[in-house]
Structure 1
Amino acid sequence: MNQNSSSTVQFYNGEQLPLELHKVRVVQKLHLVPVERRLEAIGEAGYNTFQLSTYDVFLDMLTDSGVNAMSDNQIAAMFRADDAYAGSQSFGRLAEAVKEVFGKEYLLPVHQGRAAENIISRAFVKPGDVVPMNYHFTTTHAHIDLNGGTIEELVADEALELTSINPFKGNMDIAKLRDCIKRNGVDKIPFIRMEASTNLIGGQPFSIANLREVRSVCDEYGIMLVLDASLIGENAYFIKKREEEFQNSTCGEILLAMCDLADLVYFSARKVSSSRGGGICSNNKEIINKMQHLVPLFEGFLTYGGISVREIEAMAVGLRETTDETVISQSPSFIEYFIGEMVRLGIPCVTPAGGLGAHIDAGSFLPHIPQSEYPAGALAAAFFIASGVRGMERGTLSSVRDKDGNDILADVELLRLAFPRRVFTLSQVRYVADRMKWLYDNRDLIGGLEFVEEPPVLRFFMGRLRAKSDWPQKLAAKFRQDFGESL
């Protein structure tokens, strides 16, 4: 087929813009409530965007997890679901898709990615263990901690330079990996984890060249390599665009090349296949056997794993669609456009553009707010007041406390604006950029936050905070002055 698989096209005037390679057939009404209501809503939510109701949210850029637009083929597939408790034909079709897309023969279904992390951690992590990884994700960190292990983050130092041209900030530093193994001993390392499109440092990918180096170290020491494939489609897309060896490969071929290097692959279908559910897969039956008994205990029977069979059917179709560059490129191309606008407007952000979302550098945006007052959380709250757009804090608020009760300060302070696949239009993206520019011009009005209710685990989900001054009211008043009461 001679189809344009790129989501970015050049217009006659020379401008390059992302182009939606799909048509809208079902719509959902949105509401842009007045700034007065937005101010009230963020206060009622304890200045935590997770606690906002979508009645008050205009554009929901909190996450891409479970909110990607589903395709017509996915919806159609849901109608043929086989709802048998055991031995479902739907599971068989999912297993076939996993083998086709990931190249793995054995599949354990789970209800989402963090459920896979629970199973893997219970099966392999014991007290005193250390898990090296390129960078952690919050739920991964929590499950390893709960099972008595610790993590070591081994990205290269330059990965934390937010503004750069490094195409593969998600690469693992091999020298750091070897040092980690030498210091801790092979017997204390149950596996090495690589995360595709590293979530917490801006959706940054790793290269296959780097993954091969990690595989070589695993072979040398006899250590299992685990791949978090939740954002593997985006990682494959970036490899095609940025790694010379694979510029003529298809995304499907790149996916297989990545997964072939891993002993165990797990994923959240809420991200990778535009549906809900998840899975753990491997070609090693011995590895699968160490986890298999835990699935009925925590998830459900081995052929549904806590997932609706309708979602299982959608997962199977969605996994195959992940190999389609037309599908997978839509989100990265919109993110690249938005980041380009941020750079043009002088707004600090993570470059190069990554997957999952656009990441605003809250530390540079709000240098007057110390990390102990959660600048990324404050920026998320302020941006909601200014725009009705719900983003997500990825900084110290998403971190944890040490044994003495002190915040462990995050490496970076980011406001993440997620770009779910095929959800937003270009005019909506331009609205987000405009309101971000207004907020940046009025950034001195923004102040810090402090906790009033703090859960012991994953506090960013359910915690409640308060503003340390009346800065939210002053920000809303300035917005009314500039835009008028009607908005």
Structure 2
Amino acid sequence: MRSYKATMVEPVRLLDRADREAALREAGFNVFNLDSSDVFVDLLTDSGTGTMSNEQWAAMFTGDEAYAGSESFRELEAAVRDVMGFERIVPAHQGRGAENVLYGALVTEGDVVLNNAHFDTTRAHVAANGGDPVDCPVPEARDGDSDHPFKGNFDVETGRRVVEEVGAENVPAVVLTITNNSMAGQPVSVANTREVAAFADDIDATFVVDACRFAENAYFVQRREDEFAGESVAAVAREQLSYADACVMSGKKDGLVNAGGFVGLRGEDAAGRGPSGNPTQSDDDLYERCRQRGILFEGFSTYGGMSGRDLAAFAVGLREAVEPPYVAERVAQVEALCDALADRGVPVYQPAGGHAVYVNANEALPHLPREQFPGQALVCELYREGGVRAVELGRFAFPDTDRADLVRLAVPRRTYGPDHLEHVADTAAAVCEKGEEVTGYEVVSEPPMPELRHFSAELRPVDENAHAPSQ
């Protein structure tokens, strides 16, 4: 039973099939272009789509809207320090704003940035600054049936081989994304975090944690890593983040708000404990470079593109994210959706991640070659069949990688109930039953930056007669 009750509701409706067909066609067969009013269950993303608590709404009424020196900023600063252990923050309007601030300060032409797996905007920001984003997932990450408890881990041996090829002087940053969104939302162990921190220290690189889902990751560590079996989620989160030199945070995930983000950096006198448990010196120059970029791109250093109301709600949300009832129920809901899909024969990546379930479109639609984007075909059919909006994270979203064609069903926090998720499972099962009736797609227009293709590209069915408007 959930530990909360609803105090506000929003009506939703399922359009009839003909209207869904028309909406999808008008959107260029790209569900990013759909109006939200045309979507019945929206699992496009868990970023900024969750439901805030009454405590967060109450905090919004006390938001300090001062341009400089906002008390709401001080509240967020204190929450970050208490929950995540970073003494200084550079605020931003959301996570990709924070990425622009940090990677713009770290990456220059010809650099290589290593990550357990770059997500779309991270990859784009590295590339936009002239860098080469290189993924270093562990081999188990590519096996959707493996029972490895931490398939989100960073493969340090792969990282070392890359460094040998390009030279340590060309690797300014090593990034660990927790949980690993591009690899099916799989968690990262604290042991691996320590190993990556030591690797980054060896090559004199800044160790960055992409902490968007740090609380969900800490919950998995508590459940799966023996060293932390008796620890609280809050304690695990602080321990895991303590090894990082910096973090990038989107408050729209485990900050439980609809807007906001920040770069977290260490204080003037001491940073984290470093890979061997020893104090490390902070990079004051990096902080100052980030602060100036923040002022240029996001806003002054005590609001960073957020209103005082947003800052106040963010401060409360960070503290709520590590509370045991919330995070346990959050992960359990995602696991329940994964089980419901698997029970209906839908090929899902297992075990479930913390924020989403990933369907393997290559297995669901084996008749479609990869060049016809089976993942995007599955996304279109989910909407056409049941008004469910998901997102493709395979060849369409990541054209220059060899990732499987996964479709992510990202569950908004504290928003949908069991009946909504049952509808999603029934819809996916109905799509899989169609088999070879499902046609593939081809791209007809796309933006010049391939890392951002899936946000705005338009497609058409390979079979021109498929889904043609009725006469």
Normalising by the smaller structure, the TM-score range is over 0.9
Q: Secondary structure at the match of 1:272?
A: coil
- After TM superposition, the structure 1 = structure 2 runs for residues 438-477 of structure 1, keeping only pairs within 5 Å, are 438-457=430-449, 458-469=452-463, 472-473=466-467
The whole-number CA distance in structure 1 between the counterparts of 2:191 and 2:324 is 21
* 3-state SS, counterpart of residue 207 of structure 2: strand
Cα distance in structure 1, aligned partners of 2:176 and 2:165: 20
In 2 relative to 1, CA 442–125 (structure 1 residues): closer, same or farther, beyond 3 Å?
Answer: same
Give ranges in structure 2 of 5+ residues lacking alignment: 267-281
Tell me the SS of whatever aligns to 2:392.
strand
Partner of 2:265: 282
Provide the secondary structure at the position in 2 that maps to 1:411. Answer: coil
Is 2:405 aligned against 1:413?
yes
Offset of residue 142 of structure 1: 0.7
Deviates more, 1:254-263 or 1:339-348: 339-348
State the shift of 1:88 in Å.
0.7
TM-score by length of 2: 0.93
Equivalent residue number for residue 39 of structure 2: 57
Aligned residue in 1 for 2:79: 97
- Give the aligned CA root-mean-square deviation in angstroms: 1.5
Query: Structure 1: where are the runs of 5+ without partners?
Result: 1-18, 401-407, 478-487
Partners of 1:338 and 1:295 in 2: CA distance: 39
Are residue 48 (structure 1) and residue 30 (structure 2) matched?
A: yes
Q: Deviations over 1:159-184 (max 9, x none)?
A: 11122211111111121122222222
For residue 470 of structure 1, report the CA deviation from its aligned partner. 5.3
Letter in 1 for 2:392: E
Comparing 357-366 and 461-470, the one that deviates more: 461-470
2:365 maps to which residue?
366
Give the equivalent residue in structure 2 for 1:481.
Answer: none
Match of 1:320 in 2: 319
CA distance in 1, matches of 2:465, 2:219: 41
Cα deviation for residue 342 of structure 1 reads 2.2
Return the alpha-carbon distance in structure 1 between the equivalents of residues 30 and 402 of structure 2. 18
| Counterparts of 2:60 and 2:465, CA distance in 1 | 48
- Render the CA deviation track for 1:199-241: whole Å, top value 9, x for unaligned: 1221011100111111112222322100000111111111111
Identity %: 37
Look up the match of 1:157.
139
Task: Give the Cα–Cα distance (whole angstroms) in 2 for the partners of residues 360 and 471 of structure 1.
Answer: 27
2:467 partner SS:
helix
Report the CA distance between 1:472 and its aligned residue: 4.9
- Structure-2 separation of matches of 1:177 and 1:453: 35
Per the alignment, residue 295 of structure 1 pairs with: 294
CA distance in structure 1 between the partners assigned to 2:368 and 2:206 by the alignment: 42
* Partners of 2:356 and 2:465 in 1: CA distance: 27
Specify the SS of the correspondent of 2:347. Answer: coil
For residue 128 of structure 1, what is the aligned residue in structure 2?
110
State the shift of 1:409 in Å. Answer: 5.0
Letter matched to residue 421 of structure 1: R
**1:314-363 per-position Cα deviation (integer Å, ceiling 9, x unaligned):** 00000011111211223321111121122222221110100221110001
Deviant stretches of 4+, over 6 Å: none
Q: Distance in 2 between matches of 1:277 and 1:444?
A: 43
Q: What amino acid sits opposite 1:338 in the alignment? A: L
Does residue 1:28 correspond to 2:40, yes or no?
no
Q: Which residue of 2 aligns with 1:484?
A: none
TM-score by length of 1: 0.90
Q: Is the 8 A contact 1:265 1:282 kept in 2?
A: yes
**Which residue is equivalent to 1:257?**
239
Deviates more, 1:325-334 or 1:170-179: 325-334
Residue 182 of structure 1 corresponds to 164
- SS of residue paired to 1:280: strand
Distance in 2 (CA, whole Å) between partners of 1:72 and 1:169 is 35
Q: Which amino acid aligns with 1:413?
A: D
